[in-house]
Amino acid sequence: MSLKIAVAGKGGVGKTTLSAALSHALVRMGEQVLAIDADPNNCLGRALGVPEGLLSEVTPLSEMTDLLAERAGTPAGGGFFALNPEISDLLGRFKVDHNGLSLLVMGTVDEPGAGCVCPESAVLKALVRHLVSLEDYSLVMDMEAGLEHLGRGTAAHVGALLIVVEPAPASARAATRIAKLAKGLGLRVPGVVLNKARGPEAKEQVLPYLDGLDIIATLPAEPALATSEAVPTTGPYAEAVEELRAKLEGRLGE
């Protein structure tokens, strides 16, 4: 069963690490996986273990302003833009294939102000809609920290949002704000993932602040993650992510 999910949460909680590990878990299940890096910091490739040589050739799609403007059909200076820009070739042209999965470094387009839809962002949204419609693909989208990106609406097309927290009240409070916004946008929130847990007390450190959100999985703090850029594919963290994958398929497949 293909899974389509975006991963959000406060800064540094482990979104990129989880996006990479979940992508690996899906590949192990035989899924065709598309990992989308929607964070302007572009860290997902390294977490996935994509070789530096391949990554160094990648320009985030959001920085290809000429291409985006051309697809949006906008002359410089504004005017109307295409509602259905041609985007179906972009995945094939810009994805990087490595170890059984595809990475698309998308980045984000800053919108100048509330209520203003810039054509480049419209193209990226159209692209995400297209990618989500590809039934053969499982899709994992690593989001940037914070809430602003939810307003841009790229995640909204993915349909489901997984929220990561760490054992600290601030990350749990951020999770409740993200969940509220996400639900308002029509996204399904299957639950939060408690990451970096050092023991059973980790839950108590976040539960009072989660406003009833369900902890769908607890991932252990793993020292190996601090020393390597690429996420491990074996060990307690990878095993916990495998359990999470199975649960997500159960919840989102209903």
Ligand X SMILES: Nc1ncnc2c1ncn2[C@@H]1O[C@H](COP(=O)(O)OP(=O)(O)OP(=O)(O)O)[C@@H](O)[C@H]1O
Nearest to 27 by CA among 48, 52, 51: 48
Question: Cα(9)–Cα(196) distance, rounded to whole angstroms?
Answer: 13
Sheet order of strands, 96-98 included: 96-98, 101-105, 32-38, 137-143, 4-9, 161-165, 192-197, 215-220
Contacts of 147 (CB under 8 A, 6+ apart): 174, 177, 178, 181
- Of the ranges 23-31, 55-63, 206-214, 219-227, which one interacts with ligand X (CB under 6 A)? 219-227
CB of residue 37 vs ligand X: minimum separation in angstroms? 10
CB of residue 79 vs ligand X: minimum separation in angstroms? 35
Examine residue 182 and tell whether it contacts ligand X (CB under 6 A). Answer: no
Contacts of 182 (CB under 8 A, 6+ apart): 8, 150, 155, 161, 163, 189
Q: Which is nearer to ligand X, 65 or 198 (CB)?
A: 198
CB of residue 15 vs Mg ion: minimum separation in angstroms? 5
Examine residue 145 and tell whether it contacts ligand X (CB under 6 A). Answer: yes
Residue closest to Mg ion, measured at CB: 16
CB of residue 154 vs ligand X: minimum separation in angstroms? 16
CB of residue 146 vs ligand X: minimum separation in angstroms? 8
Q: Which is nearer to Mg ion, 15 or 196 (CB)?
A: 15
Binding partner of residue 222 among ligand X, Mg ion, none, CB under 5 to 8 Å per kind? ligand X
Binding partner of residue 14 among Mg ion, ligand X, none, CB under 5 to 8 Å per kind? ligand X
Residue whose tokens read 């009240």: 169
Interface positions, 5-44, toward ligand X (CB under 6 A): 9, 11-17, 39, 43
CB of residue 55 vs ligand X: minimum separation in angstroms? 16
Question: Cα(55)–Cα(57) distance, rounded to whole angstroms?
Answer: 5
Binding partner of residue 249 among ligand X, Mg ion, none, CB under 5 to 8 Å per kind? none
Interface positions, 3-62, toward Mg ion (CB under 5 A): 15-16
DSSP tag of 210: S
Q: Which is nearer to Mg ion, 126 or 139 (CB)?
A: 139
Examine residue 219 and tell whether it contacts ligand X (CB under 6 A). Answer: yes
CA atoms within 13 A on the CB side of 129: 12
Q: Which is nearer to ligand X, 40 or 100 (CB)?
A: 40
Instruction: Tell me how long the chain is.
Output: 254
Burial class for 123, CB neighbours closer than 10 Å (0-12, 13-18, 19+): buried
Binding site for ligand X (CB under 6 A): 9, 11-17, 39, 43, 145, 195-196, 219, 221-222, 225-226, 237
